[in-house]
Amino acid sequence: MLPELGEFALWISLPISIWGVVLAFLGGRWGRGDLVLSAERSVHAVLFLLAVASAGIIAAFLGDRFEYWYVSNYSSRNLETYFKVSGLWAGQRGSLVFWALNVAFFSSIAVWTNRARNRELMLWVSGTLLAVLAFFIVITLFITPPFERLPFTPQDGRGLNPQLQNYWMTIHPPTLYLGFTAFTVPFAFAIGALLSGRLDARWIQITRKWVLTSWFFLTLGIVFGMRWAYEELGWGGYWFWDPVENASLLPWIVATAFLHSVMIQESRGMLKVWNMVLVCLTFIMTIFATFLTRSGLIESVHSFALSLEIAYAFLGFMAVISIICLVLIVWRLPELRSERQFESFLSRESAFLLNNLVLLGAGFAVLWGTMFPLLTEGLTGSKVAVGPPFFNQVNIPIGLILLALMGIGPVIAWRRASARNLKKNFMIPIGVGLLTAGILAALGMRHVYALLTFAIGAFVLWVIVTEFWKGTRARARIEGEGAPTAFFHLIRRNRRRWGGYIVHVGVVVMFMGFAGAAFDREVRQSLEPGESVSIQSAFGHEYTLTYEGISTQRGQNMWQWIALMSVERDGRFIGPMTTERRFYEAPPQPMTEVGIRSTFYEDLYVILATLDDRVGIGNEPDFQRATFQVMVNPLVPWIWYGGLVIAIGTLIGLWPGGPVQSQRPVAGVTKPAARRPGNEPEPQPAGVG
């Protein structure tokens, strides 16, 4: 019954959202509060209806309702319950409903938290949110209907793609979707600010938190995706510069640029147009990402079916949004003038601006590389492709510039810095960077980009640690606190700034992890049980893997051939390791499960490449020859650690600051002695510097 109810709910969510759009704009125009309230209630109503629709889809999966096209194509009776629930986002049709559900979820939060505040903005915000929702509901109803029925009821479904039967895959798409969809709210506030003319700091303040939320989920989603690729695709890598990956990277890049430049608007009242453009652009990029992944228009290894209706729908939507943004921004141009001018070329503002330009440059390069095959085919008729080498060649230097800026920014003063001071402040960190490069080179590292990454990384880490140390020391001295307390209070007092620095530390760690890829080692060998293969890692460890044999096992939805290896490192036995070949029954497809053994700084990664065809079900000792590909990937774990640090830093920046601030609300008044200018470490820049 629930699936039918879900379908019905999906249908009525469309008129309700359209009703809401119309009433929000009319209510705003006529100043009628009752219309506006009705529109805001529509937002919550749409959330409720979409939740019912999603519950309907999940119920259809759980109840094995194979008369639904979507269920029969993405599930089977023997699929684990866990993956049946994730069926909601396993395929195009369900995932668009899930997408709309996420948009509605965030919209509802935005409308609810602002029910008594920012009313001038909210009039237009709820209308914009509902319009976006209506678009996605139209797509799910008319182009990719999740509740479409087959003319007959199949006995069983065709099963879920085995590569999606992995726990990372159940959390990666939802996280990414949360990131994409959360950005609808900043966009709605931007439109609300433009329409209402309330272009002061208000909307930027609200928006910043939302963008940070969205950025948090996007970052996590991208890292989860890398993790999934590393474990499940089984080629020892985590990023392929595939159109789908690039699609998720683009909004992330633009949002990162916005998070930096917004600080300049908040504290200086500058770059208003620029920030407006960045918000609109990020939103357009999230739509572009959906377009790219769903239309199948870009010739890629992805097996997306080419769907022209979706392509046109999304292209049209993007065009409409771009035009609306452009017209509104031009209309409000006089009000968006900067309140101030840049005071000096040599200032942190300039560093931020440079960071913005470089980020957008990187974004453009990624976009260009992704669209290149399509462009050349359209223009010249011959297909030309660029692959990972292109993206690496372009983005590694850009990435290094950005990395360096993370160290330069904090040291340059706001507004105006003098060359003499810069020299003084940069001397030691640059020395640390050079020293790092020197030591690594002396140890035999010859890879230029890797050397640069480590040198710049050390420079940045030194700068950030110094900032923390200086701040803690000053605070400890002034407030008479112990160092740990002072450190803790320092972060609490300006979460954005210090949280931002922690994010930067995470990025540095992650970049070092990327650089580790330059030192991957690999051997391939065909082995009989009892034979072994050795590989030396970049850190000088010698791994010896002895092949013990194959065993067969029956899983819920598959057969497994599990190869057992015993692993020695530097001659000492460190434990067993398995790597598998699976054969799924629905859909009938083989699958490789890699074996990974992680240490703090390197991964041993084993792939069971081929099995003897005669290895059947049951243990047959005669035919156990198998080919293994063994890799040692240095520093890959650092990518995951870096991701964790980034998440922690972002959460610190996001953490709502209620009680902490009220504990010392009148510090300056009660402790006037501590407020002597020039001796006062407390005041800190508004931004994550």
Interacting residues with another protein between 399 and 428 (CB under 8 A): 411-418, 420-421, 424-425
Pick between residue 415 and residue 447 the one whose CB is nearest to another protein: 415
CA distance 43 to 105: 9
> Please, which of residues 652-681 interact with another protein by CB under 8 A?
657, 661-662, 664-669, 672-673, 675-681
Handedness of CA 46, 51, 56, 58 (dihedral sign): positive
**Judged by CB under 8 A, does residue 213 bind another protein?**
no
Select from 90, 126, 104, 111 the least CA-distant residue to 53.
104
Q: Which stretch binds another protein (CB under 8 A): 135-143, 224-232, 480-488, 545-553?
A: 224-232
CA distance 640 to 505: 13
CA distance 62 to 67: 13
Out of 154, 361, 529, 555, point to the residue binding another protein (CB under 8 A): 361
DSSP per-residue codes, 609-663: EEE-TT--SS--GGG--EEEEEEEEETHHHHHHHHHHHHHHHHHHHS--SHHHHH
> Please, which of residues 578-617 interact with another protein by CB under 8 A?
587, 589-592, 607, 609-610, 612
# chain residues binding another protein, by CB under 8 A: 179
Q: Which stretch binds another protein (CB under 8 A): 31-39, 100-108, 276-284, 439-447?
A: 31-39
Q: Amino acid identity of 473?
A: R
> Please, which of residues 309-348 interact with another protein by CB under 8 A?
339, 341-345
β-strands 558-569, 589-593 pairing = unpaired
x/- map, 55-74, another protein, by CB under 8 A:
------------------x-
For 133: left if phi > 0, alpha if psi spans -120 to 50, otherwise beta; the answer is alpha
Handedness of CA 309, 315, 321, 324 (dihedral sign): negative
Q: How many residues does the chain have?
A: 689
Out of 383, 534, 575, 576, point to the residue binding another protein (CB under 8 A): 383
Q: Which stretch binds another protein (CB under 8 A): 369-377, 529-537, 554-562, 572-580?
A: 369-377
Pick between residue 523 and residue 644 the one whose CB is nearest to another protein: 523
Contact 511, 495 (CB under 8 A): no
Q: Which stretch binds another protein (CB under 8 A): 197-205, 330-338, 539-547, 563-571?
A: 197-205
Pick between residue 83 and residue 230 the one whose CB is nearest to another protein: 230
Handedness of CA 229, 231, 234, 235 (dihedral sign): positive
Pick between residue 598 and residue 679 the one whose CB is nearest to another protein: 679
> Please, which of residues 252-291 interact with another protein by CB under 8 A?
266-269
Smallest distance from another protein to CB 96, Å: 9
Alpha helices in 444-538, H assignment, sequence order: 448-479, 483-493, 495-515
Q: Amino acid identity of 168?
A: W
Smallest distance from another protein to CB 622, Å: 13
H/E run at residue 139: helix 119-142
Smallest distance from another protein to CB 224, Å: 8
**Cα separation values, 556 from 12, 80, 160, 553, 616, Å:** 39, 8, 13, 10, 18
CB neighbours of residue 310 within 10 Å:
22
> Please, which of residues 120-179 interact with another protein by CB under 8 A?
120, 122-123, 161-164, 172-173, 176-177
> Please, which of residues 627-646 interact with another protein by CB under 8 A?
627, 629, 631
**What are residue 144's phi and psi, to 5 degrees?**
-125, 70
Q: Amino acid identity of 196?
A: S
Pick between residue 26 and residue 315 the one whose CB is nearest to another protein: 26
CA distance 375 to 384: 9
**Judged by CB under 8 A, does residue 97 bind another protein?**
no
Pick between residue 436 and residue 653 the one whose CB is nearest to another protein: 653
CA distance 453 to 511: 7
x/- map, 463-492, another protein, by CB under 8 A:
----x--xx--x------------------
CA distance 149 to 137: 18
Q: Amino acid identity of 353?
A: L
**Judged by CB under 8 A, does residue 35 bind another protein?**
yes
For 17: left if phi > 0, alpha if psi spans -120 to 50, otherwise beta; the answer is alpha
> Please, which of residues 495-534 interact with another protein by CB under 8 A?
517, 520, 522, 524, 526
Pick between residue 9 and residue 432 the one whose CB is nearest to another protein: 9
Out of 153, 205, 534, 553, point to the residue binding another protein (CB under 8 A): 205
Can you tell me which residue has the tokens 């699958």? 591
CA distance 220 to 650: 11
Can you tell me which residue has the tokens 């040291």? 411
**Judged by CB under 8 A, does residue 232 bind another protein?**
yes
Q: Which stretch binds another protein (CB under 8 A): 313-321, 387-395, 437-445, 450-458?
A: 387-395
Smallest distance from another protein to CB 302, Å: 5
**Judged by CB under 8 A, does residue 375 bind another protein?**
no
> Please, which of residues 541-580 interact with another protein by CB under 8 A?
none
Smallest distance from another protein to CB 685, Å: 4
Out of 245, 580, 602, 603, point to the residue binding another protein (CB under 8 A): 245
Smallest distance from another protein to CB 361, Å: 4
